[in-house]
Amino acid sequence: MKRREDIRNVAIIAHVDHGKTTLVNEMLKQSDTLDSHTEISDRAMDSNDIEKERGITILSKNTAVKYGDKQINILDTPGHADFGGEVERIMKMVDGVLLVVDAFEGTMPQTRFVLKKALEQHLTPIVVINKIDRQGARPEEVVDEVLDLFIELGADEDQLDFPVIYASAVNGTTSMDPDPSTQEHTMDPIFKTILDTIPAPVDNSDEPLQFQVAMLDYNDFVGRIGIGRVFRGKIKVGDQVTVMKLDGSQQNFRVTKLFGFMGLNQVEIQEAKAGDLIAVSGMEEINVGETVCPVDHPDALPLLRIDPPTLQMTFMQSDSPFVGKDGDKVTARKIEDRLRKQLHTDVSLKVEDTDSPDAWTVSGRGELHLSILIEELRREGFELAVSRPKVIYREIDGKLSEPFEAVTIDTPDEYTGSIIDSLAQRKGEMKNMEPNGNGQTRLEFSVPTRGLIGYDSQFLSMTRGYGILNHTFDEYKPVIRNWEPGRRNGALVSINQGKATTYAIMGVEGRGTIFVDPGTEVYEGMIVGKSSRERDISVNVTKGKNLTNVRAAAKDQTATIKTPEHLTLEESMEFLNEDELLEVTPNHLRLRKRILNTNAREKAAKRDKRAKQ
C-alpha cells in the first residue's frame, strides 16, 4: 500500500485546561513554519473573543507546521464535553492523536471522553505529560493512570504501546525522561515521535475523488466553506463535482476556490490529493458529513455520528417594557434567522419551532454550550428572553430515561462531607473516594444532569473557591421519579417601574439578597433579589424618601447598603424557576417573571394551586 510520507495528520486532545493550545503555539514557534520576524501571541489558535476571555477552545482549529521536508497537519480540539460534536468529527480527519495530560491533575472526565472517541476510530496515540515543572507534579503515577484508562476503554495492543513525552508547554521544553532536570528548550521529541509513530496517509490519489466535510466556515466573499479531508483521489479548482447530501440526494457544483493550511493562515491552492486537509468553496448548501465525489462516480462515505443534545431551553422574542433600549436586533424574524445560521456551523445544536411564532426550542450539549450561544447573540446586538434549562428525556427499551453525568471533584479534605451531602440531595451516587495526599481528596459521582443545573455556584461557595468540579455526559438511565430539583428560595419581585433608590433597597434588604444597584432601571415583574423565604415576595425598590423641612446633621451620609450580588450569565440561567425568564440584552441581564403584572401573576398562581389539588 502506497503512503504519502511527506505529511502526517494529527489531532491534539485533552481535558479542558491541560495545555493543548499552548503546546500548539510552541510547536508553531519551534518548527520551520513561521518567518523569524512573525510575532505569535499566547494561545494564538483561540481566535474567538469568548475563547480568549474564558481560556477555553470552543471551535476546532486547523494549522500545519513544517518540520524539515515534512508537513504535520495539526487540529486543536475543544477539551470541554459540551463541544464534543467538534471532537467526534475531527477524529475522522486524522490518523493519530497527541493526548495531553496534566502531570499534577492526571486523567480527568474529559480525558476519558476524548480518548474514548479516539480509540473508537482506531487512531494511533502519543501521550504528552504536560506541566512537568508544576509543583506537586507526579509524572510516573500519571502515566500509570493513563495506561489504566487505555485498558479500561478497551485499547488494542498496538494502542497500549504508546510513546510518552514529558513537556512544559508554557516554557517550550520537552524531554523523553520524567525527570524535570532533563527538559530542553525544543519540540523535536514531539515532532520526531509524530513522524515515527503516526501512520502516513494512504496515497490512493489515482482513484475517484472522496472528500468529506467535517467542519464548516463562512466567508462573506466566497460564502460557505467546507473543511475536511481528501480520503481518495484529487480535487482541483474548476472541477465539476457532486455533493452526496445527507438526505440521499445529489447536487452538482463547480469548485471555485481551494485552501490549504500553513501556520495560522489559510493558503489558496490549485490542487489537493488524498491525505490533504483542505477547505473547499463553491457549494452554497454543503453540510457536515456530506461527501464530495466526481459527477460520474457518486460514492458517499459513512455519515458522521454525533451524540445528541441533552439539554434544551426556549429562546423567545422579548416582551419586556425595556425592549429595544439596548439592542438593534429584537424581532422574531431576526432571532430565528440568527439561530438557523448557527446550525450551519454547530452540528450539536438543534432548533425547533414551538406553538408560538416568536419562540423556539434550542437544544444543546450542556449549559456551557447554550450560554456561549446566548453570549454570542448579545454581543451581536440581539435582545431576547430565555427560559430555565431542561433536560431532554428519551424512551429507551420502553422506559422513560434521563441523562446522567460522570462528576469528578478535587477538593480540600474539610469540604468532602458537605459535598457528599449536597450531591446526595441531588440524587448523586458516589462511585469512588480517594485521598490525593496534600490534604486533597478526589470524589467521583454519577449524577442526573438535572441535579447539576444550578450546582456550580453552590459548589464554589461551599468550597470557598478551592474545589474543582468537572462533569461530562455519561449515559441515559431510567428517570428518578417524584423528585424535582430547583431553587429552594423564592424571589424578590418589583411591583412597579422606575429607578431603584438606596432608601428603598435599605428597607427591602432584610428580606433577602438584593441583585440591583441604586439607580438601576426596574419594571413591574422584574426580579430584584433572592428571597430569604421559600415563597416570592413583592417589593418596592423605587420608593423615594419623603422630604421634610426637618434635617438632622450628617444623617443622610450614614445611609449605606450591602453590596448587591451581580449574577453572571450562567448563574442567571441556573437561578431561573419554571415561571421565570432571563431577559438578555447587549448590556444587561434581567431576571423576570413570565407574567409581569402582579395581580395577574397572583391569580395564575392560585389557579395552578387549585389544579394541583
- Give me the residue label for grid cell 446522567: 404
Q: Is 248 annotated as a binding residue?
A: no
518 vs 501: CA distance, rounded Å: 5
> What are the beta bridge partners of residue 387?
none
Q: 266: helix, coil or strand?
A: strand
- Residue 467: C-alpha distances to residues 93, 280, 419, 450, 573 (Å): 37, 45, 10, 21, 22
Q: Is 499 annotated as a binding residue?
A: no
Candidates 55, 3, 65, 62; CA nearest to 30 is 65
Beta-carbon count within 10 A of 254 CB: 11
> What are the beta bridge partners of residue 339?
none
End-to-end CA distance of the chain: 74
269 vs 258: CA distance, rounded Å: 5
Q: Is 21 annotated as a binding residue?
A: yes
Cell of 306: 454525533
What stretch of H or E contains 445? strand 440-448
Asked if residues 16 and 110 have their Cβ atoms less than 8 Å apart, the reply is: yes
Q: Is 297 annotated as a binding residue?
A: no
Q: Is 358 annotated as a binding residue?
A: no
Beta-carbon count within 10 A of 259 CB: 21
Q: Which amino acid is at 344?
A: H
Instruction: Provide φ and ψ at 200, rounded to 5°.
Output: -70, 150
Q: Is 19 annotated as a binding residue?
A: yes
C-alpha neighbours within 13 Å on the C-beta side of residue 212: 18
Q: Is 18 annotated as a binding residue?
A: yes
What sections of 446-501 are H helices per DSSP? 449-452, 455-462
Cell of 335: 432571532
Q: Is 463 annotated as a binding residue?
A: no
Q: Is 29 annotated as a binding residue?
A: no
283 vs 285: CA distance, rounded Å: 6
Q: Is 72 annotated as a binding residue?
A: no
Q: Residues forming the annotated binding site for GTP?
A: 17-22, 130-133
Q: Residues forming the annotated binding site?
A: 17-22, 130-133
